[in-house]
Amino acid sequence: MKRKIEKSFLELNEEYLLMYMRFLKEERVWESTGQYWLAKETSNRAKALLNGNVEEALKPIRSEKLFFHKDKHSFV
C-alpha cells in the first residue's frame, strides 16, 4: 500500500515560499555581518512560515533593540 504524500504549506502557497526564501537569505546576511540577534529573529520567522504560522512571521521586527553597534563595542 502506497502512502499519499501531502503538500506542505509552502508548496501550496507560493507567495509564502518566496518570503521563506527571503528570510533565509536575510539570516545569512545578518550572520555574516555579525548581527547574530537579528539573524536569530529572522530564523524564527522562517521557521514560523515553515510551520504555517503566518501571523508570527509577519509581525514587525523591533530591530532597534536587536542591532549591535560594532564600532562602539570593539574589543580590540
**DSSP-derived 3-state class of residue 9:** helix
Alpha-carbon gap, residue 17 to 62, rounded angstroms: 23
**What pLDDT shows up at residue 4?**
87
**Exposed/middle/buried for residue 38 (C-beta within 10 Å: 0-12, 13-18, 19+):** buried
Query: By the 8 A CB rule, do 23 and 49 touch?
Result: yes
For residue 60, the model assigns a pLDDT of 86
User: Per-block average pLDDT, block size 10, for the chain (76 residues)?
Assistant: 86 94 96 90 94 92 70 54
Task: Give pTM, 2 decimals.
Answer: 0.77
